[in-house]
Amino acid sequence: MAAANTPTPTRPLSGHRPLLGVSTKMYFTHARTTAFTRTLLTHLISTPRAAEVLSSIDAFLIPDFISLPAVLAAITTTTTPSGLPITIGAQDCAAADFGPFTGEVSPAVLHEVGCGMVELGHAERRALFGETDGDVAAKAGAVVRNGMVPLVCVGEKRGGGGEGDGDGDGDGDGVRAAAEEVGRQVAAVLGELDPEAEVVLAYEPVWAIGAPEPASAAHVKGVVRRLRESEVVKARKGLTRIVYGGAAGPGLWAQLGGEVDGLFLGRFAHQPEQFVKMLYEVGGRSIMGSSNDNRTIALDISSTKRSNDQPSPKPTFLPIAEFRQPISRTSMENTPVRMPEAIRVAKLQMAEDGGLPSSVNTGKSRFFQPVGGFESTRRTGTWGGFVSSASTYLNELRNLLFIQALGIYSFLRVQLKKLAGAVTKLAGLAGFAIACVALWSALSSMHDTRQALVLAQWTARKDFLQYCHSVRETT
């Protein structure tokens, strides 16, 4: 059973909201997963009506196991006026809570750290690791037992689902064969679960995973409709939602016409801005906003510009937590780096010494932006304003030049370390060569000594024989 006093999952699922989520599989490094999460949160916080969209759907993110704590911390500590309702899930788990199962991940531990969902039975795990319907059912039972929602992946192996499949209503031979194969997978799992437990079924045709195009809307509708009408699904009291995955992308939600309960996105959504666009599509909102709103919603906050009528704000200092870049100082000192990375390290060092102006921290200097500076000062015609603006720009230029100098210093420091390492290697090779020469001389001396010893022995024997012969002749 799940441990007592465990924290509440990141966001409880609801039966009245569509689902939209993405799994990073094993495509991301830990650093990229952290950057993806941070960028996604930045987009959501800065995009108008994002909280309204998130409140109308169940969004979920499934990173790798190692990145789970960092992603959970980022999601749960992000503060917005209405919170950030995103469920975090895991990509697999063990069927047992605890025990001698080296390398497995306990569902009890996943719930303890805050996971609300676990993905199970993906086609890759079935094909590569030999997972059966019985294995998936046992894992799903463990997920439910620990207070989480199982996301069970099902799908037929045989190809099909093209535009010509069926008669337009999704009732062709391909749909019937797919529904029978998928129905057996669903029955094996649901038959082992509590009838009142919540379950999410991800219909992912194996032949459509990673394909250029998803299965046709008629095929998906036909298979999903037959699944809903199956006895094993209709007999359940608990909530059973069905989402579609397999090359899912923009426009598919509208094509499916509400027949499915959501979308399970793949590599298309590995770009944060694309995932945000899909949130708006499934949440029933437009990225461009309503018709009476002529402003474009900027998904990239770095592209926001000030009006020429607004004065240039004074530089403000950002806290170190807002300034840090995803770069390890240890790795920077021990590995070759390019100049931009060295500059970022120099910026980090300056921030720790007291901070930098926000225009420098964000990597965009107002010195190179012709807005609110010399142009606006020239319109005002005040010499004092001109001097003030010039002083501001010169100060920022000085900061940038100082950053460049520190970057060059860091770059040269790394190169000198590389040179010192090369010299050390050359010295080692030279010492090895000298040792080889000395060893060769020693071996040659040993050979000469052995030859001299053999010659001495032969001479002694000859002299002894000659002596014996002379004694014999005299007697």
Helix (H) or strand (E) holding 233: helix 231-234
**CA–CA distances in Å: residue 128 to residues 122, 131, 292, 399, 431:** 10, 8, 52, 54, 51
Within 146-225, strands assigned E span 149-154, 199-203
Asked if 139 and 93 touch (Cβ cutoff 8 Å), the reply is yes
Q: Helix 133-145 crosses helix 173-190 at what angle (to 10 degrees)?
A: 50
Rounded to an integer, what distance in angstroms lies between the CA atom of residue 27 and that of residue 418? 31
Helix (H) or strand (E) holding 178: helix 173-190
**β-bridge mates for residue 158, sequence order:** none
Rounded to an integer, what distance in angstroms lies between the CA atom of residue 458 and that of residue 432? 39
Rounded to an integer, what distance in angstroms lies between the CA atom of residue 422 and that of residue 438? 24
Q: In which residue are the tokens 């190692």 written?
A: 66
> Mind telling me the catalytic residues?
122, 204
CB neighbours of 217 closer than 8 A, spacing ≥ 6?
252, 255, 256, 257
| Residue 274 CB neighbour total at 10 angstroms | 17
Rounded to an integer, what distance in angstroms lies between the CA atom of residue 306 and that of residue 280? 26
Could you say which DSSP state residue 53 is in? Answer: H
Rounded to an integer, what distance in angstroms lies between the CA atom of residue 360 and that of residue 396? 8
Structure tokens at 15: 């039966």
Could you say which DSSP state residue 207 is in? Answer: G
Longest dimension (CA), the chain: 142
Buried b (16+ CB within 10 A) or exposed e, 74-107: bbbebeeeeebbbbbbbbbbbbebeeeeeeebbb
Q: In which residue are the tokens 């039975």 written?
A: 121
Could you say which DSSP state residue 372 is in? Answer: S
Structure tokens at 62: 């499934």
Rounded to an integer, what distance in angstroms lies between the CA atom of residue 187 and that of residue 189? 5
Cα torsion angle, 41, 46, 47, 53, sign: positive
